[in-house]
Every structure is written in structure tokens, then in C-alpha cells.
Structure 1
Amino acid sequence: MLVVDDIDSLNPDEQKQVLELGGLVGGTDSRLIFTTRFNQSASNDNVIKLDGFNLSDEFPQYIASLRERIDFPDLSPASIGKIHEVSGGSPLFSESVVRLLRWYPINEAITEWKGARGASVRDAALRREIAQLSLEAKRILLAVALLGEGSQVELSELLGYHKELVERCLGELEALFLIATPALASQRRFRVPENTRRLVIDRGADLITDRPRLEREIIAFRKQSGRSLTKDKRVALAISQAAALVRIGDIKNALSTIRDARRRTQNHFDLLSYQATLHLKEYPRQPENARKLAREAYMAGCRKDEVFACWFEAEWDVKHFVGALEAAEAALHCKAAGTVDWMVRKSAALASKAGDFAKSHAFDTAIKTMFEASGILHDIIKRTKTDGAADWQEEQSKQHDQIWIWASLDATGLVKARAQLDTLEKFWALQDFRINNLRRLLSVMDGVASSVTRSGNRIRSNQRDLVALIIRKVESLYERRCRLFPADSRHQGVRTKLDQITTKIDSALDSLSEQNRKHITSIL
């Protein structure tokens, strides 16, 4: 349903164009209603005539109600009858005539405006009323008309007027132009009636001389909440008011504003998300409330970047790294802005989760989880290439150093050496070719040598095979690094020590073989 109000405010050619548009739209499932005081274009067959208020009781009651917000002379029943005659009982037209009575005698007002269009009468009243306003009130009037709706705290921030000045001007305007809208958390809100709003905006140049600047300031003000736009006007207005309160440090009333709006919108997910962020601005912070609401907002359908950031931060605050990981993965799945940043957060959450596993002595799981974190950093390094890659390589190195410690804790003997070697192979696969990792091959070989030496004559053939496999893999990793960094002079020192340890292992194995032969001979 599309309603086009007051088409008599247009000239005849424009009215015909509106009706032609109506004919096009009317061919669809949509329906249109046009309202006018003077039918100059449409066929009478398509017109439904609506009478105004009747003179017997409705119209006098309406005139009396106007006195609650408009100051005008007392009217006799005869004068009320004259206004009814010229207006046809139309509320808007009658209000405009009544407004003019503050400057015109009733007979003069009726004579001058009889038969005029409603917009013309309203415009005449508006011109007179604007002339009575202070300069500050004029700017506030246009600001409210352009905003659509606003509260004292928003107008104060937007215009740079102190609270007392804004309140005084609102009192000045309230009797003429503004209508109070439902308050949010005791914060009074105002708007300009739609018919008057159009006239105010059209007369913007009569109100202030720098309208373009005010319009730019309003655009910037609307962006100040730092949040994505929402389609629900009620939600947008509540967030705008709350954001203005936040900027003056009034978190308590900002929270009250959002809670009030939630009750009116059945917990709209954008309000859940915004309230979650407010809990992180409280002192002290309330991350438990924030993570609960952020998760609820996501589950309700919120996919805006802010909800993921708040969710992750709140989970991180309470050291619930599983929840932080959940938030990061949700952000990546929903393609939230800043993919690399979310990959970093996911890696950090995994690394912290790995630390929790290690505290429980679940070292295998800790290593697996930390490798997942390292794999994400590896992907980031490939994405960023030279731009910031060094920072992520350093972070990956720290993760690998921790993995190396864990890999050295949960096993002994040849099993430990094999686990360490597997770990180093994964480091190589993740492009971690640091010289420290090459030197760690010496630690692996030292472990093999110690294990063989302690075995006495009890080493089995499968253990010999494992020793041989480890030596081959160590040589393979060493040769690979030499090919990648042929000019690195440190290789020679590692090579010398490797040869020494390998010789020691070979001697121990030969000695064991000789002992075994002697043992067999003695038995025979």
C-alpha cells in the first residue's frame, strides 16, 4: 500500500504525472491512495470524498485541543463556524489558519486564505513562526527536520550547543513545530510533523546560511556510532541516542536506552549486539554479559562485523578460548571484514587453547592444536608476502618453540627421538627453516646415541631399523636446508657434530653386534 498525501500541493501538470505513475503501479499487486483537498485531475468515479470534522461537536473539540500547544485568541462559536466553512473541517488546514490568528484578525485570515491550498496556508504560518525564533532555535529546528527525530543529547553533540541552551530552544520550538515522541530511557525525543517537516526543509535557506555544512555534519554524526546501518528505524534511533550518551561518558543511560528499545522491538538482534559492546565499556567491564548477548545476537541472525569483534573480545577477556575460537570461525565463515585480522585471532585462540591442553598434560592434543594455529599463520604469511610477514614469522617461531618443548616431554628413548624428528619435519613443511631447527637435529641424534648406548646387548632388529630411518631423515632435512641456503656458513659446524654423533651411534651398534656374536658363540 502506497499513500501519496496532499497532491493538491503540486501544480496540475505534476498531479497528472503522479496519477500516470499510479496507473502504472496500479497494474501490479500494489495499491495506491492519493489524498487532496482539490480534485483537479482524477475521474470522479475513482474518488471517495471524505468529510472533515462536523461542526456540531467534533470540530469545536479539535479547535480546543489545538490550544494545548498553540497560543491563539479565544474564538466565539461564530468564528469557529467561519473556520469550519473555509476549511471544510480539514484538521491540517484548520490548524494552519489557527496559527495565523496570532498575526491576523480572524476575518482577514479567512478572507486572505479562503480557497487556498493547504500547503500555502501552512507555508504562510511557517514563515511567520520562523521569524519569531532565536537563531539557535532555527538551527535546531532544521537539524531535527533533517535528522527525522532526535533527543536533547544528540542535538547537543551535533550542534555543539550546551545542554541548557538546547533545552531552552526545544521549549521554544515545542509550542510551534515539534511533537514529542516516546522517550527512550527517560530521554525525551522530538520530531517535526511530516507536513511541516517538508516545508521546514524547503525553507532551510531562511533558517541558516550554511545548510550544506549542517548536512555534512549530520552525515558524519550518523556514522559516529561506528556501526553498520540497520533497516529498522526504531533500532537506528535508539543506537544513535545511546552512542551520543556513550560519547559523553553516560554508559548507564546508554544501557537504559538500549534495554528500553529492546522491549519495544522484541529484542532486535542489532540492539542485543550493541548492548553487548556497552557492557565492555562499563567500569568495571562486564565480559560475561557481553559474550552472552553477542552470542544471542549472532544466533538471532546478526552478521555485522561489530558482533563478531565484541564476541571475540568478551570471550578472550574471560579466557574462554574455545568461545573466542568459535567467534573467530563464525566471523571467517560469514566473511566479516578484515579476513587476515580474523585469521590472526583464530590462530591466537588456537594457541591459547593448546596451552590449556598442555596444563592438563594432554601434550599430544596440545601439539596438534598448536600446529593448527601455526598453519593459519603460515597461510597469513603467504597472503601478506613481504608486508608484515616478518611479524607473523616471529609469532610462528614462538609457537614452534613451544611445540618443541612439549614434544620433548611426553616420551623417552627412540620413541622420543622419532616424535622430535616428526615435529621438525612439520616445521620444515611450514617453511620454518631457522638454524635453531637445524641444530635441533643434533638433539634428536644425541637422543638416539644415548638410547643405543643404554641398550646394552638388548637392541632388537626393529630398533636398529628405526635408528637407520631416523638417521636417513636427519640427513634429508640437513641436505634440504643446505640446498635452500647454500651460503650459510653455519652448516659446517652442524655437519661436523652430526658426523661425530653418527660415528658414535655406528660404533655402539657395531659393539652391540660383536657382543651378540660372542653371546651366541658361548651358548653354542
Structure 2
Amino acid sequence: MDVSKIKKEIYEGILSGNVSKSIIDNLVRPDGSFLSKECELWDYKKTFEDTKDATLKTLKSIISFHNTYGGYLIFGVDEVEKDTSFVLSGVEKNLIDQQKLRGQFDRYFNQRLDLTYEEIVISSDKGDLIIGLLHIPKRSKKNHSIASIVDGVNSKGKVILEKDTVYIRKIDECKRVVSQADFEFLVSDRHFDAEHGVPKKIRKNIIEHNLPDKNFICPDFIGRFEILQELWSWLSDDFKYTNVLAADGGKGKTSIAYEFSQLIIQSGTDLFEQVIWLTAKKQQFKAVYNQYVGVPETHYKDLETLLKEVCLRTGYLQDEVSEFTLQQLQRAARDGLALIPSFVVVDDIDSNSPEEQKRIMEIARSISSTSSRVLMTTRANNIYSSDSSILVPGLRGKEYIELVNTLCDAIGLPNFNEKNIGKLNVASEGSPLFTESILRLCKLGLSLEGAIEDWSGKSGDTVREAALRKEVSELSPEAIKILLTICYVGDLSRSELHQYTDFENSEVNIALEQLGNLFLVSSMGFIEEEPRFESTSSISKLVLSIANEIVPNSEAYIKRIREIGEGLEANTRVHIPEVGAAVRQCNSLLAAERFSDSRNTVRALIKKPRFKENSDLYFILAKTDYEDPLVSDEVARKSFVEAFIKGQRKPAFFEMWYQTEVNSGSSRSILEVCESALRSIGKFDSQWAERCAVANYNQASNTKNYENKVRYLVSCYGQLSKLLKISKRGKWEEHKQLSVKVVDALWDESMNNSKYEIAGSAIINAVNGGDIRSVNFNRMIEVSHFFVDEKLVSETAFRELRDNLEWAPQILRSGAGNREPLAIKLEQTYRNMKGSMRNKKLKVTA
């Protein structure tokens, strides 16, 4: 039986709602047994028991199929041998009460599903038997994934259906959605490719956003999957369009809102066209602001300024908004969010008075709708309703252990044992912010017990300020001013710090060294000749809170750097009302799938001389081609290239261009997009760096020329080396595996082309970078024979291999496993190189 053909016919039956005998006929073998395979499209069941336990399992299967490709539950087929033998057993007539099953589905999922159950008579050697066929429709792409609204607990107390958990079908199992790839799958068209068993490639929806730099909010996001899952489930709630993340200070509510926003953006869901991030935190003001690069800034200070920001980000012009009354702003914000489906995060509303907080929450409910949702963050208080909020607890268990280990690595502390981590957990209440504060006291020389004792009986802010004051007392006046500048503005380069402070370059360098030694700032070194320096959000908040104590006349100083920042910001923004209006109109036309009208709107404006080079207009043209299903990838690619030539550099632009190239471009063109995106961002971005590394590796695999192949592999290895320093868990493994492949490829290609110096350097760099596989030490031994020849290898390379061979045995002996024989070989190789004629000549020359 051709399984691919069967899957194709079954999938077509699911889409058409077929519940006839033809579905069963596809699965029955000539001998009367059933195809010994369950998959994403069907599942066999011996019978259906009308009990709570059995119903919960059936509901889990139904929702998993519905969220995936749709499917069939086939009752009356017995699994006599696991995964290998399925035989017809039949069921009793009227096995399933459809009305009751639909009612149970409604109870747990708060909505009805168009389930169809038919009983089909099949002739067999046992006589006529009944097969029950339950058809489960495929969820429309326009509908959000469905999750249970309550826990489904069986008679033994085991949770079968978890509240807010989304299930999908993976091969023959019902699985929880747990990864970014799962979420991306959920919001895709989910076209089933019967031949390969994977979805067909389509153009991913690109969601525009103004998120600040991840390093400013949460460089290392840990855990919180249950809350993210609850937020994802909330998006399918037809009656609740606003939500609140509430917690005491330092519990990570802003980080959760940020991570969830990232999840929405990366998933490419069709629910939203943009993510709007609005914060009242003044310390997040970013002077060199560009809304499409996503750097921190303060967006609102009260209800009126909040509504103005929403209006400006949903197509209204500055001149219009400045004339609106509060009531007009509310109406305009509501209409704008209805026109442009948006996910809006209103961060830190507790910066406002209690009365203003109430007004903001009330207005948020009035302007949100089925098309646009609003997520707010606030400290735990009695302003919000518990029915429309999620209380954020402190971290516990494995998540807290991971947090502590991550923080210890970041500030240069040795890791603690589980007992001490438990003490730290209790003292900090699981707060990431409080935990960092206690660990910084340890960094100052206190024992963990001493740091916790200092903490006990005092407010978190008091202890953190005390620790910070001790550190600041060790700084020069210049270093303190530079610290305050970075905390107020955000990440800055040396040249920018010179602009803000007027300090000489030497003074800036000395100050940065002092701050780095105390771990108060860190370098984001992506552009090596111009690294950027930043501080954590917790340190920034503390520094700003005691600014008047550490910098004389701090208010005047902050006012000065704010004015400098506003001047720089004004230089980066050019408001062109006609272009803004055209973009707004085109987005409306695209939402209505009026692609030709969108093109005509842009082209009419481009014909005018003053707009013929406007990169935003060319971006809209490319976006139109990207979203138009009748436009080929080749045409869309040309549109993106043209927009890039005109100067377009927005993140959403690069994302659309990348997705287009992935669908139909060459490895070379994909690499060019990745490299262009990295250059435009101007700092290290892990997503683009990962894409760039993969593209370099693929390009190397497709290139025959040795020099070009090595160039791509070396570039790939450089990106991976940086990624390995910041990656966590699964991603680290992925990057490490690719890194190993790159090293192996460099070795093989270089040795095959008699490029012994390059081969040796590749292995030395790999070992120094932590790739201490035995094969690499054997390679050092093998290549050493060529290094003694002056004609083949340079003097510098000879010295480097000789010196590395000297300490290589120590690495083997200090590591796990018994590699003593290999260590002895390395020692002998070192003696051979040391005693070689070439080494003796070097001594004479020296």
C-alpha cells in the first residue's frame, strides 16, 4: 500500500468533510486487516466508553487533530500488537452520542466544534461489523488555536487536559506546544504535504514592531512557560481583550510581556499586523531613537499621551493628533486599532497615580477588540480585577537554579550548591531582580549568609542601594557620570559617550574599564572597532534612583543629556505627511487584499520627483508583492532588492526579504540578506547571527572553489563562536553541532588541498574554543609533520602549534575519561617539534 497516496486521499477527505466508506476503504488491506500505521491524520480506537476518563482522552485527541490538520478517530479497530497489527473488531450501534460529545467539548473549550460521527457497516469473515468514523475538521487559519479553559482531571486525580495548554498532533501522539517551531506551525496555513509529512513552504506573515533592545529588558529569559502558555490561550478568548501581568517589583512581569511579544512576532500569526510597545519607564529613554530599530524610550506619562502614541502608531499624523481632544483621541485609537490589528503592551502603568491607572485600564478595555488586544503590566495592587489578570510569582525549582547559575556566570561568581540556592530562593522570594542584588553583595566580598543577613529585615531597594553605593564609592567622577549616562540613555558606543559627556577618549576608556571591573557595564562587542556599552535594567533603575546623591546637580546633567538625545533623535526622523498617508492607505488596502490598488497608490506618489527615491514607498511596493499570492517569489525578490538599493533598512523589511529568499533564493542571496541585516542593526543580534552562520555553511557546501569555501566556513565559525557564548540549552547544542561540522570541513578541505597551515590553525582555534574531541588532538599530531617544513608553513604558525602541543596533554588529563595514551603521543609530538632542525634555527635566530 502506498502510504503517501493514502495520506493524500485521507487529507482531502478531512478538508471536504467526507465521512463515507471510502475513508475506511483506504485503510483496509486485502486480507481485511487495517494499515498498521497511525499518524497526524487518523487514530484507531477499539471502542468509546461513556465515562469521564474516556471522554477526556477523546477530547484531547479531538483538539490535537483540530489544531493540526484535522483528522479522523476510527472506532472498532483493535491494536492486537503494538504499532504492528490492527484488526477489525467492530462497535455497538449508536456508540457515540454526538450531541453529548459536542456539549463536553463546549464545557472544556468554551466553544462548539462541528464534529460528525457516522457508523459504517463493513463485511468481514466475522460477518457484518460496524465501524465508527468521527470526523474532526481542520482549524481555519483565521481562528486562533484552542486550549482548555479548565483542567480536565480523571478519576485518579491525574490531569489529562491542562488548562491553557495547546495540544497538537505529532505523528501518532498528542503533544503539548512547547517550542518556537510549534507556535510558528500553529499560526501557519498547516498545509499537509503527504509525500514528506511536513507543511509546504509559504510566505510567513511579518509583524512590524517597536520593541526595545532585548539586552535592555531581559538578556537571558528563563522559564515562565506556563504564563506564556496562558497568554497564548488568552488570544483565543472571544470575551476578554485586555489582560494584566501583576507582580511585586522585580518579579519579571516586563520581561514576560517582552518575551510574549517576541513570540507573537516570531510566530508570524495573522492575528496582528504589528506589536506596539509602550512604556512609562523614564529610565528607558533612548536618545538616538529610531522606532524601527527598536531601542528603549519613554512613550507616555498619562492617559492622553498614551492614546496619542496609539494613534500615531495606527496611521494618524502628528498634526492631526495634536489637535484632538481626549474623547477624539479615544475614538481615533479605537478606530486605528480596528483598522490595523495590533498587539499593544502598556508597560509600567503603576508609574501613574492610582486614579490615572484606573482610567488607563478602563480606556484599554474600550479601545481593544477582537482584532486588537492590550496587555498591561503593573505592580500588585487593588486597581485591577483578578478575573482579568495574571499574578506573576517568583521563580522556583529548576528555573530558579538556572537563573542563579546564569547570574553567577555573568558577574564572575562561582556557582552555588543546591542547598545555598534554596536559601537564596527563600530570601529573594524568587525575584530575578532581588537575586541579582544579593549576588552583587557576594561579589563585594560578603559570604552568601552575610549577604542574605544584610538583606533580611530590609526592603529590597534599600539593600540594593547599599550595595550599589559601595561600588560607586570606588569610581572616579568621570566613571560615575558615564554610568549615569548609560543608565539613562541606554547602550552607547565610545564615540556617543564622548558626544554626551565631552570627556576625552582616554577619560572615557579609563572610566569604562573601572565600570567593567565592577560589572556595572558590559560590552555588546559585535562591531569590534566600535563596541557598545550597556548596563542591566536593575542597575539602571538603582543608579537613576540615587542620581542626586552620586552626581552633583544631577537634574541639570540629566536635562543636558536629554536635550542632546532629542537633538540626535530629531536628526534621525523625517516626517513626510504624504508618505505616511500613503503607507496608511496601502496597509488598509493590503488588509482587504486589494493588491493592485496598493501598487497604484504607491506608484502614483513615486512618479512625483520629491518621492521617487523614498525608501518607505519602495518597501510598501515590496510588501505588496510579498503578500500578494499571485506574485512569484522571483518578482518579490527584485522588489526587495530595489527597496534596499533605495536605502530601506527596517527590521520588518529584512524579515520579509529573508523569508522570500528562503522560499526561492540561492544560498548566496540568503547570505547577502543576513549580512545586510547584521550590518544595518549595528550590534550583535542572535537571530540574524544564527541565520548568517547557517547561510555561510550552506554557501560553503555549494561552493567548489577552495578559497571561497574556506572564507565562508571561517565566517560561519566566527558567528558560531559568538553565539556559543550567549546561547542557552537547546540552542547551544545546535550551535555546537554546527561548529563541529565547520571544523571538520575546514580540516578536510585544507588537508585535501595541501593547505596545512590553515588546517593546523583551524584545529588550534577549535581546541582553544573548547572543542576538545580526541580527533582534534590526533589532527594536531598529524599536521605537525608538515609544520617542520619551512616551505609549507610560516614561522608564526610553527611556533603556535609547538606551544599548543606543549599544554595540550594537560587538557586531556584534566578532562573526563582516560585519554592518557593520547596525552603521551602529544608529548612525544611536542618533543619532536622542539628537537626539529627548524626549531633549532629559530633559537639561533632569536
State TM-score, norm by structure 2.
0.28
Q: Would you tell me which structure has more helix in proportion to its own residues?
A: 1
Q: Would you tell me which structure has more strand in proportion to its own residues?
A: 2
Q: Which has the higher contact order (CA 8 A, sep 6+)?
A: 2
State TM-score, norm by structure 1.
0.43
